[in-house]
Chain A
Amino acid sequence: MLRRNLLKAGVATAGAMLVPRTVIGAYPVDAFLAKQPADALREVLGTADIAPGDAIEIDAPPIASDPDLVTVRVRSGYAGTESITIVASGNESPLAAHYRLYGGQHAVTTRLRLDETGELLVVVKADGQLHAASRQLRVANFCRA
Protein backbone atom coordinates (compact mmCIF):
# COMPACT_ATOMS: atom_id res chain seq x y z
CA MET A 1 0.00 0.00 0.00
CA LEU A 2 2.77 2.33 0.96
CA ARG A 3 4.52 1.59 -2.27
CA ARG A 4 1.37 2.29 -4.25
CA ASN A 5 0.91 5.63 -2.53
CA LEU A 6 4.50 6.54 -3.11
CA LEU A 7 4.17 5.68 -6.75
CA LYS A 8 1.03 7.73 -7.05
CA ALA A 9 2.67 10.69 -5.37
CA GLY A 10 5.67 10.32 -7.61
CA VAL A 11 3.60 10.33 -10.75
CA ALA A 12 1.49 13.23 -9.53
CA THR A 13 4.45 15.46 -8.70
CA ALA A 14 6.19 14.47 -11.90
CA GLY A 15 3.07 15.43 -13.80
CA ALA A 16 2.82 18.77 -12.08
CA MET A 17 6.49 19.61 -12.42
CA LEU A 18 6.99 18.73 -15.99
CA VAL A 19 4.30 19.34 -18.45
CA PRO A 20 5.68 17.13 -21.23
CA ARG A 21 8.09 19.54 -22.80
CA THR A 22 7.93 18.41 -26.36
CA VAL A 23 8.85 21.63 -28.05
CA ILE A 24 12.51 22.45 -27.93
CA GLY A 25 11.80 25.34 -30.21
CA ALA A 26 15.12 25.28 -31.99
CA TYR A 27 14.55 22.71 -34.72
CA PRO A 28 17.24 23.41 -37.34
CA VAL A 29 14.94 23.42 -40.36
CA ASP A 30 17.56 24.63 -42.85
CA ALA A 31 20.03 22.01 -41.74
CA PHE A 32 17.55 19.24 -42.40
CA LEU A 33 16.60 20.73 -45.76
CA ALA A 34 20.22 20.97 -46.90
CA LYS A 35 21.08 18.67 -49.80
CA GLN A 36 24.83 18.64 -49.20
CA PRO A 37 26.40 17.19 -46.06
CA ALA A 38 28.69 20.20 -45.71
CA ASP A 39 25.76 22.63 -45.87
CA ALA A 40 23.90 20.61 -43.26
CA LEU A 41 26.89 20.68 -40.92
CA ARG A 42 27.33 24.41 -41.44
CA GLU A 43 23.71 25.01 -40.54
CA VAL A 44 23.67 22.86 -37.47
CA LEU A 45 27.18 23.31 -36.07
CA GLY A 46 28.30 26.59 -37.63
CA THR A 47 31.13 25.07 -39.63
CA ALA A 48 31.87 22.17 -41.94
CA ASP A 49 35.61 22.41 -41.46
CA ILE A 50 36.09 19.78 -38.80
CA ALA A 51 39.26 17.93 -37.92
CA PRO A 52 39.06 14.15 -37.73
CA GLY A 53 39.13 12.73 -34.23
CA ASP A 54 40.22 9.20 -33.45
CA ALA A 55 38.18 8.78 -30.27
CA ILE A 56 34.88 8.28 -32.07
CA GLU A 57 33.60 4.77 -32.55
CA ILE A 58 31.01 4.05 -35.19
CA ASP A 59 29.30 0.72 -34.94
CA ALA A 60 27.33 -0.14 -38.07
CA PRO A 61 27.07 -3.06 -40.45
CA PRO A 62 29.53 -2.75 -43.38
CA ILE A 63 26.80 -3.84 -45.76
CA ALA A 64 23.23 -2.99 -44.94
CA SER A 65 21.05 -5.87 -46.03
CA ASP A 66 17.94 -3.89 -45.18
CA PRO A 67 18.69 -0.25 -46.01
CA ASP A 68 15.45 0.87 -44.38
CA LEU A 69 16.66 -0.31 -41.01
CA VAL A 70 20.32 0.32 -40.39
CA THR A 71 21.28 0.36 -36.75
CA VAL A 72 24.09 2.77 -36.02
CA ARG A 73 25.76 3.15 -32.66
CA VAL A 74 28.04 6.10 -32.09
CA ARG A 75 30.37 6.26 -29.13
CA SER A 76 32.39 9.28 -28.21
CA GLY A 77 35.56 8.84 -26.23
CA TYR A 78 35.78 12.55 -25.47
CA ALA A 79 35.10 13.87 -22.00
CA GLY A 80 32.39 16.48 -21.86
CA THR A 81 30.54 15.34 -24.96
CA GLU A 82 27.81 17.89 -25.71
CA SER A 83 26.36 16.77 -28.98
CA ILE A 84 26.47 13.98 -31.57
CA THR A 85 25.50 14.66 -35.16
CA ILE A 86 24.86 11.87 -37.66
CA VAL A 87 24.94 12.55 -41.39
CA ALA A 88 24.19 9.99 -44.10
CA SER A 89 26.00 11.50 -47.07
CA GLY A 90 24.28 9.36 -49.68
CA ASN A 91 20.77 10.39 -48.66
CA GLU A 92 18.61 13.05 -50.24
CA SER A 93 18.35 14.73 -46.87
CA PRO A 94 21.78 13.91 -45.47
CA LEU A 95 21.36 15.19 -41.93
CA ALA A 96 19.78 12.29 -40.09
CA ALA A 97 19.98 13.15 -36.44
CA HIS A 98 21.40 15.71 -34.09
CA TYR A 99 21.57 14.84 -30.40
CA ARG A 100 22.26 17.20 -27.57
CA LEU A 101 23.45 15.42 -24.47
CA TYR A 102 23.18 16.85 -20.99
CA GLY A 103 23.45 13.95 -18.61
CA GLY A 104 27.04 12.88 -19.21
CA GLN A 105 26.26 10.35 -21.91
CA HIS A 106 28.80 9.29 -24.50
CA ALA A 107 26.88 7.08 -26.88
CA VAL A 108 23.63 6.89 -28.79
CA THR A 109 22.09 4.22 -30.96
CA THR A 110 19.68 5.09 -33.76
CA ARG A 111 18.18 3.33 -36.73
CA LEU A 112 18.59 5.05 -40.08
CA ARG A 113 17.10 4.69 -43.51
CA LEU A 114 19.73 4.74 -46.26
CA ASP A 115 18.92 5.76 -49.82
CA GLU A 116 22.18 4.51 -51.25
CA THR A 117 25.76 3.61 -50.52
CA GLY A 118 27.61 6.50 -49.00
CA GLU A 119 29.69 7.79 -46.20
CA LEU A 120 28.30 7.98 -42.73
CA LEU A 121 29.64 11.11 -41.12
CA VAL A 122 29.63 11.61 -37.38
CA VAL A 123 30.54 14.83 -35.64
CA VAL A 124 31.01 15.00 -31.90
CA LYS A 125 31.15 18.24 -30.00
CA ALA A 126 33.03 17.95 -26.73
CA ASP A 127 34.11 20.85 -24.54
CA GLY A 128 33.38 23.19 -27.42
CA GLN A 129 35.65 21.31 -29.83
CA LEU A 130 34.38 19.52 -32.91
CA HIS A 131 35.66 16.10 -33.93
CA ALA A 132 34.64 14.16 -37.01
CA ALA A 133 34.70 10.52 -38.03
CA SER A 134 33.32 8.65 -40.99
CA ARG A 135 32.52 5.16 -42.16
CA GLN A 136 31.59 3.85 -45.58
CA LEU A 137 28.17 2.25 -45.47
CA ARG A 138 27.24 0.01 -48.34
CA VAL A 139 23.70 -0.74 -49.28
CA ALA A 140 23.01 -4.19 -50.66
CA ASN A 141 21.70 -3.56 -54.13
CA PHE A 142 19.13 -6.28 -54.40
CA CYS A 143 15.44 -5.51 -54.36
CA ARG A 144 15.81 -1.76 -54.45
CA ALA A 145 12.76 -0.47 -56.25
Chain B
Amino acid sequence: MAKTIQLRAWAIDDQIRIRAVIVHPMENGRRKIRKTGKKIPPHFIRELIVSRNGRVVLEAFWGKSVSRNPYLAFEVPGRKGDRIQLSWLDNRGNSDSARIVAR
Protein backbone atom coordinates (compact mmCIF):
# COMPACT_ATOMS: atom_id res chain seq x y z
CA MET B 1 0.00 0.00 0.00
CA ALA B 2 1.64 3.06 -1.11
CA LYS B 3 0.53 6.64 -1.30
CA THR B 4 -2.97 6.15 -0.01
CA ILE B 5 -2.78 9.26 2.12
CA GLN B 6 -3.06 12.86 1.01
CA LEU B 7 -2.02 14.83 4.03
CA ARG B 8 -1.91 18.63 4.41
CA ALA B 9 -1.04 20.66 7.44
CA TRP B 10 -0.64 24.37 7.75
CA ALA B 11 -0.39 26.84 10.56
CA ILE B 12 -3.02 29.51 11.13
CA ASP B 13 -2.24 31.71 14.13
CA ASP B 14 -1.52 29.29 16.97
CA GLN B 15 -3.31 26.36 15.38
CA ILE B 16 -2.37 23.82 12.77
CA ARG B 17 -5.09 22.82 10.39
CA ILE B 18 -4.73 19.20 9.36
CA ARG B 19 -6.56 17.74 6.42
CA ALA B 20 -6.36 14.20 5.11
CA VAL B 21 -7.99 12.17 2.41
CA ILE B 22 -7.28 8.46 2.38
CA VAL B 23 -7.85 6.42 -0.73
CA HIS B 24 -9.75 3.41 0.50
CA PRO B 25 -12.88 1.58 -0.72
CA MET B 26 -14.47 1.45 2.77
CA GLU B 27 -16.73 -1.42 1.72
CA ASN B 28 -19.50 -1.90 4.25
CA GLY B 29 -20.24 -5.48 3.23
CA ARG B 30 -23.69 -4.70 1.86
CA ARG B 31 -22.90 -3.81 -1.71
CA LYS B 32 -23.32 -6.49 -4.32
CA ILE B 33 -21.62 -7.13 -7.61
CA ARG B 34 -24.44 -6.44 -10.02
CA LYS B 35 -23.71 -9.31 -12.40
CA THR B 36 -23.28 -12.14 -9.94
CA GLY B 37 -25.29 -10.86 -6.99
CA LYS B 38 -22.39 -11.75 -4.76
CA LYS B 39 -21.78 -9.50 -1.80
CA ILE B 40 -18.53 -7.59 -1.63
CA PRO B 41 -16.95 -8.42 1.73
CA PRO B 42 -16.43 -5.64 4.26
CA HIS B 43 -13.17 -3.78 3.89
CA PHE B 44 -12.79 -0.64 5.94
CA ILE B 45 -10.33 1.36 8.01
CA ARG B 46 -10.76 0.63 11.69
CA GLU B 47 -8.13 2.75 13.36
CA LEU B 48 -6.34 5.94 12.57
CA ILE B 49 -3.75 7.85 14.56
CA VAL B 50 -2.46 11.36 14.09
CA SER B 51 0.52 12.61 16.01
CA ARG B 52 2.22 15.96 16.26
CA ASN B 53 5.94 16.03 17.02
CA GLY B 54 5.76 12.41 18.09
CA ARG B 55 2.86 12.83 20.49
CA VAL B 56 -0.53 11.40 19.65
CA VAL B 57 -3.13 14.14 19.23
CA LEU B 58 -6.01 12.14 17.78
CA GLU B 59 -7.10 8.53 17.70
CA ALA B 60 -10.00 7.58 15.51
CA PHE B 61 -12.09 4.45 15.46
CA TRP B 62 -14.09 4.06 12.29
CA GLY B 63 -16.88 1.73 11.32
CA LYS B 64 -18.72 0.88 8.15
CA SER B 65 -20.66 4.14 8.07
CA VAL B 66 -17.68 6.24 7.08
CA SER B 67 -17.66 7.13 3.41
CA ARG B 68 -15.40 5.76 0.74
CA ASN B 69 -12.11 7.65 0.44
CA PRO B 70 -12.57 9.00 3.94
CA TYR B 71 -11.84 12.58 4.82
CA LEU B 72 -10.66 13.87 8.14
CA ALA B 73 -10.03 17.45 9.14
CA PHE B 74 -9.30 19.08 12.44
CA GLU B 75 -7.23 21.77 14.08
CA VAL B 76 -4.71 21.30 16.81
CA PRO B 77 -2.68 23.86 18.76
CA GLY B 78 0.78 24.06 17.23
CA ARG B 79 2.99 26.04 14.93
CA LYS B 80 4.71 26.07 11.58
CA GLY B 81 7.39 23.39 11.34
CA ASP B 82 5.63 20.86 13.56
CA ARG B 83 5.91 17.30 12.29
CA ILE B 84 2.56 15.70 11.63
CA GLN B 85 2.21 11.97 11.13
CA LEU B 86 -0.88 10.00 10.22
CA SER B 87 -1.28 6.23 10.05
CA TRP B 88 -4.22 3.93 9.50
CA LEU B 89 -5.02 0.25 9.84
CA ASP B 90 -7.91 -1.56 8.19
CA ASN B 91 -9.82 -4.73 9.01
CA ARG B 92 -7.63 -6.81 6.71
CA GLY B 93 -4.44 -5.70 8.39
CA ASN B 94 -3.40 -3.31 5.64
CA SER B 95 -1.89 -0.09 6.85
CA ASP B 96 -0.16 3.02 5.63
CA SER B 97 1.33 6.12 7.12
CA ALA B 98 2.43 9.55 5.99
CA ARG B 99 4.30 12.36 7.59
CA ILE B 100 4.72 15.98 6.71
CA VAL B 101 5.93 19.23 8.20
CA ALA B 102 3.32 21.91 8.85
CA ARG B 103 3.66 24.90 6.55
Query: Residues on A close to B: CB < 8 A?
Result: 7, 10-11, 14, 17-18, 20-24, 27-28, 32, 44, 68-71, 73, 88, 91-115
Contact = CB atoms under 8 A, between A and B. Distances in A.
Contacts of A101: 57-58
Nearest to A97: B62
Interface of B: 26, 28, 30, 46-47, 49, 51-52, 54-68, 70-78, 83, 85, 87-89, 95, 97, 99, 101
Contact of B71 (A17, A71, A106): A71
A108 B58 CA distance: 10
Contacts of B58: 99-103, 105, 108
A44 B77 CA distance: 27
Contacts, number: 132
A110 to B, nearest CB: 6
A109 B46 contact: no
* Chain B interface, DSSP helix/strand/loop, else mixed: strand
Contacts of A73: 73
Given A102-B55, A110-B66, A93 B28 contact: yes
The 3 closest A-B pairs by CB, nearest first: A103-B57, A96-B65, A109-B73
Contacts of B77: 103-104
A88 B89 contact: no
Contacts of B68: 68-69, 113
